[in-house]
């Protein structure tokens, strides 16, 4: 009989390891196998593998801090305090033998499976982006609300517009790059990566390296901490110095000096060059950029290519360039909206289940949730994916051609009524409507009637 366990205490120094040792000794006396992962102040050690978890009868979490349980979806999980594991580890293991799988753990199984597919640098980047997005959304909406009083109303000190701009631009947006860099480093090196990552991200903002510099700082910080953790060996009596002094100080110095003296200037120059290029784009070139972004948004409907386009636009938004963000959001809304419209104008092309899914796709589309198109694409990828890509590409191109700008990175149509959140709002709606109609018409033309499809299947079976 095999068990796996995680121990974690608030400080991550003494009780984390005492609980682990108690569980290991108790398991040995009870003739059962156990592997204990410690989540201490230097990060996770003796990390549980997928095979360890698959072979385990149950999972024991002895912690007084929050421990993610996504890895254990579908497994019985027993949660106890650290002190309970230290004082009576045998009793804890006995309880684990009869632990049951909860409904919530079953529901989380699909989510954990999807996350497990993300690996390497892409996973680390997306971790940083996922933590950054709430700051960008909150800041963007605060800025948009400030603009509602007039584009330059925030320049008057003491006004509500100025306060909203301070919240959005001066605080939430100022934290965007440090959070991005910090959590990229966190994904690579666990908690010790946060300090050098955020320090590097802060420096990136100060020297003008911006979003791109933050990404570089995050990766440098993460891999630097990972290297230091593996190569610095201290006596047991000095282990407590690693998380509070040695790792944060050395890694912050390495990352900070690298950003200031090596990486900062070239990345800052690249940033300025990109900003100048985007600002000076002619209408034709802007339309081509919008077309490419639109195609990317529809290609995998929330996958890596879609996320790359969205991340690109968010990064530019932090630099005050808002046109690509408008193109990306419009193009991301178009696929589910086009499919929803197709289920209305060409009902004979869709099953009853698809028509029902079309009703939900309206809500998902207006909310800027491109994933609403996935059920249709999965059922008929050859016809659906080219159709939604054409529609989104046209929407993105028109949005850029109409010089629409968007100050908010998410929210769909629900943020559009905010005064000055979108420039050229009327034409922006036109770009979404045109792309939606093109998508619906293409799908209606390319898809065969259900009766025709059934006849062909019948002929194949007969033959």
Task: Lowest mean pLDDT of 115-119, 285-289, 367-371, name the range.
Answer: 115-119
Backbone angles phi, psi at 160, to 5 degrees: -65, -35
Most confident region among 97-101, 257-261, 298-302, 377-381 by mean pLDDT: 257-261
What is the signed CA dihedral for 396, 398, 402, 405, rounded to 10 degrees? -10
pLDDT band at 119 (very low <50, low <70, confident <90, very high): low
Mean pLDDT of 373-382: 80
Tokens (6 digits) for 347: 């009902």
pLDDT for 9-37, tens place per residue? 887 778 889 999 999 999 999 999 999 99
Confidence category of residue 70, pLDDT binned at 50, 70, 90: confident
Residue 104: Cβ within 10 Å count: 10
Place of tokens 């080219």: 386
pLDDT for 434: 95
> CA dist 40 to 18, 45, 72, 186, 235, Å?
11, 8, 20, 14, 17
Residues serving a catalytic function are 9
C-alpha 79/C-alpha 117 separation (Å) is 27
The structural domains of the chain, ordered by start, are 2-114 (3.40.50.2300), 119-270 (no CATH), 283-462 (no CATH)
Q: Is the pLDDT of residue 432 over 80?
A: yes
106 band by pLDDT with thresholds 50, 70 and 90? very low
**pLDDT at residue 275 tops 80:** no
Minimum mean pLDDT range among 39-48, 294-303, 309-318:
309-318
């Amino acid at each position: 009989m095999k068990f796996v366990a995680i121990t974690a205490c608030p400080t991550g120094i003494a009780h984390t390891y005492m609980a682990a040792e108690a569980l290991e000794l108790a398991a040995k006396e009870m003739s059962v196998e156990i592997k204990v992962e410690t989540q201490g102040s230097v990060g996770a050690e003796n990390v549980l593998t997928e095979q360890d978890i698959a072979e385990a009868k149950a999972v024991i979490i002895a912690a007084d801090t929050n421990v993610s349980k996504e890895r254990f979806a579908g497994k019985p999980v027993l949660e106890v305090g650290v002190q309970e594991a230290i004082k009576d580890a045998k009793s804890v293991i006995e309880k684990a033998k009869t632990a049951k799988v909860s409904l919530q753990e079953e529901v989380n199984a699909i989510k954990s499976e999807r996350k497990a597919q993300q690996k390497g640098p892409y996973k680390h980047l997306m971790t940083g982006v996922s933590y950054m997005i709430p700051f960008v959304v909150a800041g963007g909406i605060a800025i948009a609300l400030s603009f509602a009083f007039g584009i330059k109303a925030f320049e008057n000190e003491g006004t509500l517009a100025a306060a909203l701009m301070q919240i959005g631009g001066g605080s939430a947006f100022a934290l965007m790059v440090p959070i991005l860099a910090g959590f990229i480093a966190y994904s690579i090196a666990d908690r010790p990566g946060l300090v050098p990552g955020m320090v590097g991200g802060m420096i990136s903002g100060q020297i003008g390296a911006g979003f791109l510099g933050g990404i570089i700082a995050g990766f440098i910080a993460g891999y630097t901490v990972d290297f230091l953790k593996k190569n610095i060996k201290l006596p047991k009596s000095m282990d407590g110095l690693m998380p509070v002094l040695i790792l944060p100080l050395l890694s912050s110095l390495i990352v900070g000096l690298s950003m200031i003296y090596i990486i900062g200037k070239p990345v800052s120059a690249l940033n300025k060059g990109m900003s100048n290029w985007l600002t000076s784009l002619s209408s034709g070139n802007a339309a081509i950029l919008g077309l490419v972004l639109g195609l990317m948004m529809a290609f995998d409907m929330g996958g890596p290519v879609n996320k790359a386009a969205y991340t690109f636009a968010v990064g530019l938004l932090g630099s005050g360039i808002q046109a690509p963000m408008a193109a990306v959001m419009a193009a991301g809304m178009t696929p589910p909206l086009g499919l929803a419209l197709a289920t209305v104008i060409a009902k004979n092309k869709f099953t009853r289940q698809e028509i029902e899914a079309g009703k939900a796709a309206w809500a998902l589309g207006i909310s800027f949730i491109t994933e609403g198109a996935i059920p249709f694409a999965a059922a008929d990828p050859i016809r659906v994916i080219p159709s939604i890509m054409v529609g989104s590409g046209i929407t993105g191109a028109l949005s850029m051609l109409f010089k629409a700008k968007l100050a908010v990175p998410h929210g769909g149509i629900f943020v559009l009524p905010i005064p000055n959140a979108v420039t050229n709002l009327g034409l922006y709606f036109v770009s979404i409507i045109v792309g939606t109609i093109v998508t619906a018409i293409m799908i209606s033309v390319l898809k065969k009637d259900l009766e025709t499809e059934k006849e062909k299947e019948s002929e194949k079976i007969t033959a």
